[in-house]
Each structure stands twice: as structure tokens, then as C-alpha cells.
Chains A and B, each alone.
Chain A
């Protein structure tokens, strides 16, 4: 791999990382507005407010960057980066076209899971470093949520890896069969629920519950650092939606997949992202105990069941 190619790949990942989350964010503005009988942003950029998030970004840049006096200053400044960068790494590993992924490593499925796990650590660090009770409570909730939902997430992905007989996302997508839609359905549901919880999106937004904890671990953040947390959240939606599309919906599989493979991947991923947004719009927040109950009494057993089913299927040669 030449230096030019490395630079090109890195630049394309960065471009995707900056554009796709904004697309999801704009979709959230618009979808939520219409689901509530409103129009959403209409002015920024002229046509249906397409530049609203760019304008928001420009506003965030102008804000004062405040670090609380009693905060752990280095960690406080570092936390947004820890939340943001792993998602970029994760995005780079997603195969979007037959044979095309920015980083093609043998065990990319594991790399993605680790990266998203590290991304959630950014929230913990932010909560601890802020020296604020709301931030700390939010971080503790976030930690509890992370522990509970990381397990079903990993189990669900493990089931797909078992079915495809590989740890590489590209190989798994290659071996995807339409009947997996039914065979891997319980795992898909588990992954989707656990992914929403991992992203701390409603209905699993107890860590940032704005009616109880101001803004949870992000309470003390302002300006660009706060914007980075928001970007990380939407980048997380992009990564996990694409992952869902690649592993459960067959990624690039579809008519003319040799030419239009990446369109299929992005379209499926966007569809999943809209579902994630839809859940936020329609459902209220889960209480902390309901959240834990759902993870340990529903998702983990379901994921284990799926793993067993996959094992049976693999042995029987489905």
C-alpha cells in the first residue's frame, strides 16, 4: 500500500466521518419534526434548512471553551477525543463495497466492537473529570449501562461470526445469505436494542437524562468539545447502523451489487439509522432498573439462545 493510497483512504474516511453523521443529524431534525407535525429547520442554507447542522457547527466554534476550575483538566480536555476517535476507527473498518474497506484487517468484527466500547469510555472519563455531581451520576449510569449492554452486543455479533465462520466483516458480508434474515432475527433484534443502549440514545438515555441530570457527563462541556460529543453520538449511530446493515441485512448484496454495492450498503445503513431515530421520537425513557432488567433478563438470554440456534444451524449445515 503506497503512501498516496494511505492518505487517500484516511481522507475518505475523514470525509465520510464528517458528512454521514451530519446527514443522520439532519435526518433526525426532519424526521422528528414531521413525526410531530412540524417542518423542522427551513432557513439555513436556503433549501429546507439543509445547512442547519453546518450553522450549528459554526455556532459551536464561536462559543467560549470553559474548563471548570476543579476539573481534572487534562482528562476533561481529552474526553471528547476519546469519545470521537474510536468511532472513526470503527467506521474505517466497515466494508461498504465488495472488496472495499478503508482498513481491511482479518478480525475487523472484533476491532469494531472494541472501538465502540472504547468510544463509550469517553463518556465515563468526561463524567469523572468534570468534578460535577450530575456528570458523575451520569457517568456511573453510563458505566452500568455499558457493562450490561456490551455483553448482548458481543454475543449477537458472535452469532453472526459463527454463522459466517469468520471474524472479518468483509468475509461475513460475502457469505451472507438471505435466509439469515430469519435465522439470525433474534440476534438482530438484540443487536439493535443493545446498539441503541450503547449509544445512550432514547429510550436508553438515562445517563444523559436531561430532566434529571442536566446533560449527564456533558453538563460542564461547552463549545467545540460539546459539539465533538454530539458528533460522536451521531457517528456512533452511523457506525452501528452500517454494522447492522453489513452483518444482518447483507451489506452490498442486492441487484447490480458489483457496481452499486456501496449504494446498497449506505441505503440499508441509513434505513437502520432512521429506525434508531424513530425509536427516540416515539418512546419515553426507561427507568434505570427497567434498563438493567431488559439487558440481563431479556437480551442476554435471547442472545445466548441465538448463539445456540446458530451453533445448531452451523452443525446441521443450514
Chain B
């Protein structure tokens, strides 16, 4: 078999030697004629374990990055609307209002905060592109491998905040970093030794700190 291949390549014009070699390989895979080969192949396959996934009886083992459903961790959401605006088919619905928090210290400034009223994903429109998960700056959206949420009515595929939150439990932990990979940015930042303030710079630093305020 290995001797035939170069012959075929020599005989054929240089432009397409591969298909011819492949054809020859398909025609004569060994000493046995093709019909016997067919019997041998089927018999061998019958001896091996089957590939059938007995799904409803046996749950499938899904890879951790499976795109089953999008889960929401709503305490991380700031209603920034980035996901809703990036969504290619506009299947994310967000309602929020602003709340004023009283100052924590006497004489301090009151602060405003966004409160998420509604967060819904219409999975009848979602095309599982994952842009919302990518774009979320506050890690509020996650992929979950959970996939058993079929409905009898297409309108029931619009899932609200509580349902999206339930799926958080099924989100797998992030995969471990590759061996010898660089440490995550947060860890690097936390482990960085505190900056030593040189005595000569201390006076100038006070000036520099005043400068941006002056510009503004």
C-alpha cells in the first residue's frame, strides 16, 4: 500500500496528486477484496462498545464551556445595559431605576445607585453567541451547561430574573489555568508589594496631587 502511493503521484500531473492517491487508497485498502473488507469492518465494529448516548436515562457529560443557557448573578449587575445593547438580536430586556442612598458619614455626599427591576432573556430569540457574557464588565452573566429548558409554547422561553438566577447554581467553576500560565491580573495586583514612598517625592507628590484638581 505504501509503495503504491508514490507511483500514483508520479503518474498524475503535479497539479492534483492527492485525490488520485486518496482514490487508490480507497480502492485497495489491503490484500482482501473490498466486499470481504466490508464484512470485516462491520464485524469489528460489532465487537467494540457502541457510541450511543442513552440521553434521557444517562445524563451526558458536557464539556465545562458548553453553551447551554445564560445564567444571571443579579447582585453583580449594575444595569449598565452593555449586554442589551450588544445583543445582536436584542433578546435581553432590562428595566431599572435609580435609588438615592443617604450619606454614610455626617456631612457626606448622597450617592445614587442603579437598582435592577427586570432582567429577562428571550431564549426563543437568543442565538447563543455569548456576546453578552463577553461584554459584561461586572461578571454578572455566565454560561451554564444546563440545556433542559424546552417549553411547549415558544412564548414561555422568555425567562425572567429569578429563573436566570436559579441557573447560577449550575455554572461550573472556571477552568484551571494552563500550566505555567501567567497569573490572573487580580492576583498579580493583590500580590504586588506596596509602593515605597521615597522621602524626596513626598513633597512633590502633594503638588502633583493638587494639579489635576486645578485643571478641573
Contacts and interface: CB of A to CB of B under 8 A. Distances in A.
Contacts of B51: 37-38
A45 to B, nearest CB: 16
A42 B52 CA distance: 11
Interface in A271-318: 278-279, 281-283
A207 to B, nearest CB: 21
A33 B38 CA distance: 15
A86 B54 CA distance: 41
A137 interface: no
B38 A283 contact: yes
Contacts of B38: 282-283
B35 A39 contact: no
A43 to B, nearest CB: 10
Given A31-B46, A35-B42, A283 B35 contact: yes
B45 interface: yes
A33 B49 CA distance: 11
A33 B46 CA distance: 8
A34 B46 contact: yes
B50 A37 contact: yes
Contact of B39 (A33, A37, A39, A282): A282
B48 to A, nearest CB: 7
Interface string B27-55: 00000000100110111011010111010
Interface residues of B, number: 13
A33 B50 contact: yes
Nearest to B36: A282
Contact of A34 (B35, B41, B45, B54): B45
B54 A35 contact: no
A29 to B, nearest CB: 13
A281 B54 contact: no
Given A278-B39, A283-B38, A39 B52 contact: yes
Given A42-B54, A283-B35, A37 B41 contact: no
B42 A281 contact: yes
Contact of A37 (B43, B48, B54): B48
- The 6 tightest CB contacts between A and B, nearest first, are A282-B38, A35-B42, A39-B52, A34-B46, A35-B46, A282-B42
28 contacts: A31-B46, A33-B50, A34-B45, A34-B50, A35-B43, A35-B45, A35-B46, A36-B42, A36-B45, A37-B51, A38-B50, A38-B51, A38-B52, A39-B50, A39-B52, A39-B54, A42-B54, A278-B39, A278-B42, A279-B39, A281-B42, A282-B35, A282-B38, A282-B39, A282-B41, A282-B42, A283-B35, A283-B38
Given A278-B42, A282-B38, A282-B42, 15 more contacts: A33-B50, A34-B45, A34-B46, A35-B42, A35-B43, A35-B45, A35-B46, A36-B42, A37-B48, A37-B52, A42-B54, A278-B43, A282-B35, A283-B35, A283-B38
